[in-house]
Structure 1
Amino acid sequence: MELGIVHQLFGQARSAAGAPLYEVVTCAAEPGPVRTSADFAVMAEHGLESLRGAGTVLVPASHELDESRPGEGPVPAAVAASGAERIASICTGAFVLAAAGLLEGRRATTHWLSTGRFAEMFPGVRLDPSVLYADEGAVLTSAGEAAGIDLCLHMIRRDHGAAVAADVARRTVVPPHREGGQAQFVARPVAEPRVSSTAAARTWALEHLDRRVGLAELAARESMSVRTFTRRFREESGMSPSQWLARRRMERALQLLEETDLPVDRVAERSGLGSAASLRVRLRTELGVSPSAYRATFRGPRAP
């Protein structure tokens, strides 16, 4: 996918007269068939010598190598020595750019599942796991595969203006600009212990998220003092009762946005987040999107 979108998007960019605005060439460490994770190979007819003289070099993800041995092989050195005016990556291709020394001291991103490993391997990079792409001028990085679409459209927009990028987006049937960052796509389950002395209180709280839930009330349901309850709750869940409630309320709000047509104020009320204004602030702060934008992205199909 991350290889195909480069050809799809840059290949469709046209001038007002209909002339192609980019020439896209695919190269590999060794010309010929390149094995993929699918049941077909990619035929790359060009070698790394094609990088010399390129205006832009774009490194897509290669999951076998990027995270385990990103500095091995000839690709990182060839990318660094290409002399290209602009170098970019899609998904875990950022590991290759970092191994080539191109991201040191720069802001960058990669797929949210890989940010922990990336931070450990390249502490000198200013990793931003919340964004869909990071633009540092001559070096750009994107998050997961689909975020490569956002990055490519951004590069086209930067090169040739919003009208050209919008035309490419329209032909591809994707939005010319997506709101928010990759935080909205990160799975955030709250782990529950198998055996817990505070489980009954949590179960009750989940059934009453739409009302004010006090710490003393939760502790009383387990016949504990507030101090003992708070200590055991943190030991068993890894967070304080107030943090757990805030997380659960946000999860309930997201579930209601995804699965119902309730107005935003009713979603906020039923999830215990108060007002529509409060919900909007929470979503904007935590996910970088509005409730309507989140719903438009994740709302499941309506029943016929």
Structure 2
Amino acid sequence: MPYAQIEPPAASVFSSALSINALRCTSRRIGILLYDGFSLLGAGLVAELFQTANEITAPSGGGRITYDVRFLSVEGGSVTCSAAVRVWTDSLDPRRPAGLDMLFIAGGEGARSAASDTRLLCWLRAACSTTDSVRPIAEGRAVLVAAGVMKPAEAPRRPHLSAVPAGDDAELRFESMKGALAVIRRDLGVDVARAVVERVLPAWSDQLLPRLGDAGLTSPADKIRAAARWLQQNCEHDISIADAAEVATMSERNFLRRFKLEMGVTPSDFLLRARLETACGFLAETELPVDKVARRSGMGNGDRLAKIFRKRLSVSPTEFRQRHREQREHRAATDG
């Protein structure tokens, strides 16, 4: 079967290592563990985020932090991904510490076989003990579970699919993107992290940028108001209060307390009001069926929307639409 091949010294995010000038810069070593049948998309995105951060900060020179990204595999050499593309990797040396600052485990259909590779699992256990942060990319979590590094119950909370662009395991790749960007933000600042998102992941910027925080938000009140705006802008999605707390860079408990003090209502009630306003707009300005209005405003279904309307407005959605239509016709007749 014909295949494409990616090997050094190809100038690509999929090369075996990103160039580094050790004499001029502080280096962060990032490893991405590959295996036959891995997904090139997830691993490539992680590598490109760090490479783009290198490119953005390169003109400043001096002592800027840069990222030395290396693809790793058990045997080294070419490893074939699920799309039959070969990627060059460095081999694992079980006799030496990994010496990594961060390690990603690639996802893909080959994860099941990788999870039974004894040599890989032994190296992974040793590497995790000396690596600050270890993160799976999608199915790569199965490899960490097999190594005993991660328990099944310790999987990161998956963001809702409605809040993440569609794609194969997009919501799990989203988690690995956040992990990489958090490191870039910590090392190089929020402005660089934002620039990386806008260049590499423009389609995901609405979801990723608010979570990077805002360098101009210094007070808790500013952060709460920014989180409130984010709730309004994303109310049609199946989001949670934990998501909003992350936008405000606060613990959930602190966020709940401060939000009530600043906004006068709980985050849940604020979100419900935003969804109710959105639903009212759809009912007044469109002919969409009630079920579609409910889905597009984050209310779930028509029954739940009707229940909330009766409780909050003392009318059904259909009655609200009819009254609004009558009022509009009356105003038109009066103005005429």
TMscore range, shorter length = 0.3 to 0.5
TM-score, normalised relative to structure 2: 0.43
The structure with the largest helix share of the pair is 2
